[in-house]
Amino acid sequence: MMTKPMSLEQVAEAMVAPGKGILAADESSGTIKKRFDSIKIDSTEVNRRDYREMLFSAIDAMRSSISGVILYDETIRQKAKDGRPMPELIASTGALPGIKVDKGTKPLPFCPGDTITEGLDGLAERIKDYVALGAKFAKWRAVYDIGLKVPSWSSINANAHALARYAALCVEGGLVPIVEPEVLMDGGHDIDACEGVTEWVLREVYQQLYYARVPLEKTILKPNMVISGMKCPKRASREEVAERTVRVLKRCVPPAVPGIAFLSGGQSDEDATAHLSLMNQLGPLPWRLSFSYGRALQAAALKAWGGRPENVAAGQRAFAHRARMNGAASLGKWTDEMEKAA
């Protein structure tokens, strides 16, 4: 008997299912090369395939803690060692395959220090291609630095407009859009500056989504947390990060949005987990709070694997541990003791 395909609302709900989150495995060729350089292996297509297949075939972790996987264009077209397309391998674990569709950032003219994300040209046709390859959702990332005179209003407005156009094209084409406006935690700014810029960015993003007539029930938000810059001498506590982040989200994100899957943005593995858990303890909240982590889910697994076939099981154990910790955090149930016990 044929099963009825999931609606976009059902896909969005499944992406933020209780106790689960999204694995961001959509590193560009340049980013994955830096990761591989750290373990001294070449960034070849085969090595990239083997590394990602190690993660996707960690069956227990995928089934229990991962709701979806964001893929890069190369990966969605690759096949696993057994000949199955990567999206099929992911779907066999119960997770949803997704795809990064933006073309990266470029300097925004006349706005020093600001960037604009490109990739709208031809996006409708690319979406058709990705749907045919098995994708169920997509991701587009806008980036905002905090510094002297940045971000500018021009940057915030231009990126919000691009995010809204992307989201509208995705919904029209049959993909749930992950809307990712990332206020970077680089630099020396304090948590007050991050809170102000994050609120400004989110207000403009939701204004543009409204103008673009995007049905919010078919979308997921992937924001930064409100956090001190990495070079700021005064570090905000984990509790303050959680409280301020939830405060900004309550001000800006309509309850129609099914869920918010945070990016980790350079935080340590444990900080990203702890912050998420503390936020979920501040409920009840109008949306589910989950994770969409890349490095914070993968760093330990990458190190344990080290590019060696005999270390695949060790890499999968490291990945499973971080996935379980973040799954618990998405329920507000993570503790320091759980890390120590592992």
Class of domain 8-341: alpha beta
Question: What mean pLDDT comes out for the span 222-249?
Answer: 97
Residue type, 185: M
Q: Would you say residue 161 has pLDDT above 60?
A: yes
Which stretches of the chain are assigned E, i.e. beta strand? 21-25, 66-71, 96-100, 105-107, 115-117, 137-144, 176-183, 220-221, 259-262, 288-293
Q: What is the pTM of this model?
A: 0.97
Question: Tokens standing for 138?
Answer: 């997509």
pLDDT of residue 7: 98
**Do 260 and 216 form a contact (C-beta atoms < 8 A)?**
no
- pLDDT band at residue 340 under the 50/70/90 scheme: confident
Distance separating alpha carbons of residues 79 and 72, to the nearest angstrom: 13
- From the list 53, 180, 182, 204, the catalytic residue is 180
How far is 21 from 288, CA to CA, in rounded Å? 11
3-class SS at 283?
A: coil
On the CB side of 316, CA atoms within 13 Å amount to 16
pLDDT the model gives residue 269 = 95
- The pLDDT score that the predictor gives to residue 2 is 59
Q: What average pLDDT does the segment 152-165 reach?
A: 98
Residues 6+ apart with CB under 8 A from 9: 217, 218, 258
Q: Residue 66's closest CA among 217, 216, 287, 261?
A: 261
Of 100, 136, 139, 222, which one is the catalytic site residue? 222
Residue 1's pLDDT is: 56
Told to judge if 234 belongs to the known catalytic residues of this protein, a careful annotator would answer no
Look at residue 283 in the predicted model and tell me its pLDDT.
Answer: 83
CA distances from 273 to 55, 127, 225 (A): 19, 32, 12
pLDDT recorded at residue 4? 84
Average pLDDT of span 4-15: 96
Residue 79 is inside which H or E element, if any? none
DSSP labels, 210-278 = HHTT--GGG-EE-PPP----TT-SSPPPHHHHHHHHHHHHHHHS-TTS-EEEE--TT--HHHHHHHHHH
Average pLDDT over residues 217-246: 97
Of the pLDDT bands very low, low, confident and very high (cuts 50, 70, 90), residue 342 is: low
Phi-psi region of 40 (alpha: psi -120 to 50; beta: other; left: phi over 0): left
Of 71, 80, 84, the C-alpha closest to 137 is: 71
Summarize pLDDT for 41-94 with one digit per residue, the tens.
999 999 999 999 999 999 999 999 999 999 999 999 999 999 999 999 999 999
Mean pLDDT of the chain: 97
- Other C-beta atoms closer than 10 Å to the C-beta of 234 total 9
Amino acid present at 211: Y
* Residue 107 scores a pLDDT above 70: yes
Q: Tell me whether residue 340 is one of the annotated catalytic residues.
A: no
User: Distance between CA atoms of 89 and 268, rounded to whole angstroms?
Assistant: 29
Which amino acid, residue 224? Answer: N
pLDDT of 319 over the 90 cut: yes
